[in-house]
Structure formats: structure tokens, C-alpha cells
Structure 1
Amino acid sequence: MNRLILLHGYTEDATIFDPLLPLLPAFGQVLALELEAEFAHWRPASPVNVVSLATHLAARHRIGPTDVLLGHSMGGWIAAHLKQQTGATAILLSSFTDQAKIVSSIRSPRLLGLYAHLGLVQSRWLNRYFLRRYPHDESRALHGQLVAGMGRFRRRYVAQQLGVLFAPVPPLTTQPELRLHALADTVVRPPDEPFVELPGDHFAHYFYPELAAEAIHQALRKTDFQ
């Protein structure tokens, strides 16, 4: 049975896939992972990074070669590592397989983790700063909702997400089946590898779901998906 496993991004939840999901092929099961709950079950023995998270998720949900992983932003980074560990099909939306593609002036996981544990990442003044500087009118309201929701997260969860994003890991040796990206994305730079270009910004799949769904249909036809 083919499963579709949804992996959302930093500060998001599974509703980020709502416009796209009805347009996708029929799957035997759709598993929308809420990463806040998944991280709460995760007890990494080693430093927090995407490799140890992928190992946890693969075992917890018995992810294997017949599964299709659909990840947005941080979720795509996780999906790429799940593919490497399990052989599942990975589709990346506005995501990356090279951490250098993340647009950030601070890249130290230790420093970011400290800021998160101190509550600085969720501070109102910082969130207002990000809202003022956000350049995209089309997704401004959606981005504002995500920023406004930051305050509800536990600091430990915020710190873990930043560790998954920025903690160094070995380079990937496999590549996703499909990358979708907008050139105007100011959160994650476009990949160097081949990708399908979408209009819009970091939330291109949300505002142009028909175009994203068409590319996904075409990519799945080239796999063993039935």
C-alpha cells in the first residue's frame, strides 16, 4: 500500500498542505505528521540533527520504499534524509539538500539553540522585526499567521527544529525524485540541481497548488507508484 507522508516546515503544521492535498493522486493512506508531537517522542542519545531525527521517524512510522514523502522547507530536508535511510520517494517543496541554501545570518546551532532556550527566538520584538521586513505581499498574511503562532511552541521544540536545520551532517548520497522551487524564495535559495520552477515565493505550493500538483503527478508516473 502506497502511503503519502507529509512533513511540514519550521513554525508550520500540516495545514500548510491543505490547498495541495486534494489535487494529488489517490494514496492508500495519508499520514500528516505534526512535528511538534513527533519531536516530543524523540529522545536523541546523540546531538540533535536531521540524521538522528530521520532515524527516529523511520522506525516510529515504519517508513519504507513504497512510501512517498512530501516535505516543505525543513520538512523536505527531513524527507531527503528519510529517503536516504529507507529508499522512500522524496518530493521537496521550497526545500534544500544543502544547508548553505538556508538564508540566515546566524548559522551556529549552539548559538541558535541558546537563543531558543532563552525565548529570544519567540520574542515579540523580533517577530515584529521579521514581519516588517517580509517582502512578499502574496504570502504576507500566511507568513504573519506563522510568526504569530510562534509563541505557542515549547522552547525545547523550537531549539530542536533549529538543530535539525543547522547542525552539520554528512552530505547526502541520494537525491529526491522532484524539487519544486520559486526563484523569488527569500527563505531558501533555489537548488543547484534541476528543479521545477513555480511562481510565487517560499509558499509557492500553497498559492499555486495546481502547478505543484501537475509536477508531482508527472514525477510519480516515472516511479513505481500505482
Structure 2
Amino acid sequence: MTLENGTRHLSGKRALVTGGSRGIGAAVVRRLLDAGAQVLATARSTTYPAPEGAAFVTADIRTEAGTRALATAARETLGGVDIVVHNAGGARANEGASAVTISDDEWQDALNLNLLAAVRLNSLLVPGMREQGSGAIVHISTAALLPPVPAFAHYQAAKAGLESYSRALAAELAPSGVRVNALGPGRTATPGGEETRRRWASDDTESGATSTPPLGREGRPDDIAAAVLFLASDEAGWITGTYFSVDGGEYPRN
């Protein structure tokens, strides 16, 4: 993506994108590359190649050791980080479709991937951003937090925690010039997402969600990536501590 005057407005910026090899993450990586950024993408495996032009490293960020290894790889590959997009996330639906029967292991896995991975990675990368006096962090949450879906209670709770953490971190880092925002994708066409959406719909009896989002279609990964690019860029230089819903109007929040 370029600005109207043809300049690549993220030239010289160094970006790290977790979950960056497919779906929304890959779209974010491509947008950042097109805008001139140097990008390191990460995923748990090499099953899906990262977009051409991006550096890639495998890391299991559900673990403390994995986040430390990724932070080290980011410093070695990029020389520092200006933009961090925490996109990796997800959880399996509880087989009993019950919030009560979600096991401790399921809860811990959801918390590790959707909340603690960002907390741990930020703790390792934020000092460098503070020292340079600038930076942008984007946490990918979900637009569907309010509909009660018992089978996904662990996922919704972890993402709600991520949003609350985002606001607290934004307040702390604002004086140092580092911005933090959260973004909630709605129903988006991504690899592997259809089964989750089917299970979500079967358990979501009182959500108020429509069969088709008000804008008439489900989202595309690039719809989400465009919003991430904006929040990561200097065009959003006076925006921090916010939550952006990118869902076609499907899940309004009061």
C-alpha cells in the first residue's frame, strides 16, 4: 500500500507479526511489506510459507521460552522493532458446549495463546521501544466478545483480558511515545475458520448476530489488514488505548 503521493510510508520501519503465515496475519504482512516495512513473520510451524519478502521464524509463543526465542530472533533479524502485531490466537470449542466443563488445560492454552503471549512478548520488546521513543503495538482481539457462547468461554475471556491489558499498557506507554491499540475482527474468511464459525453459530443462540453482517458480506483478511496498517502507521499517531471493531456492523457494542 502506498500513499497518494506514491511514498511508501512505512519505509525504515521494522515490524513483527505473530501468526503471520496465513489468513489475517499473512494479509497484514503483505500490507506492511507493500508500505515499505521490513517484516518478520512467525508461526508455530512451516506448514504455510510466509508472504514473499518477509523473514520468517518458527516459534511457539504459548510458552515463555518461545516468546523469549522470538524476541531474540526479532532483535537479530530486524535490529529492533517499531511495530508489533499480535495476531496469533484462537481456541478449540469445548466439546460439551459448556463453560463449566472447560478443563484447566483448555483454559491455560487459551490464556497462553490469546493473552499471555502478548504480555510476555511485550515485556521483552517494549523496553527497546521506550528507549527509541516510538512504537506501535496492535493486539488482534475479536468483535464477538459480547454474545455469550459457552463453548468458547475460555477464548472470549482471554480476548476480553487482552483488551483490558491493551488499555492499561497504552496508558503506561503513552508518555514514552509508544501507542497500543486493540482491533476486533468480525466474521472473516480465513483458512480453518469455517468449522469454528459453524460451531460458534450452533452455540450462539442469543447473540443478536445476523445471518449476514449488515454490510452484506463476510470480511476478507485484507479488510482487517487495512485497519491494522492504519493503526500501525504514523497516520494514527494520535490514537492510543482504543478498540477498533472491523466486523461489517455485525456485533455492535454499546
TM, length-normalised to structure 2: 0.38
Asked which structure has the greater CA Rg, the reply is: 2
**TM-score, normalising length: structure 1:** 0.41
Which of structures 1 and 2 has the larger relative contact order (alpha carbons within 8 angstroms, sep 6+)?
1
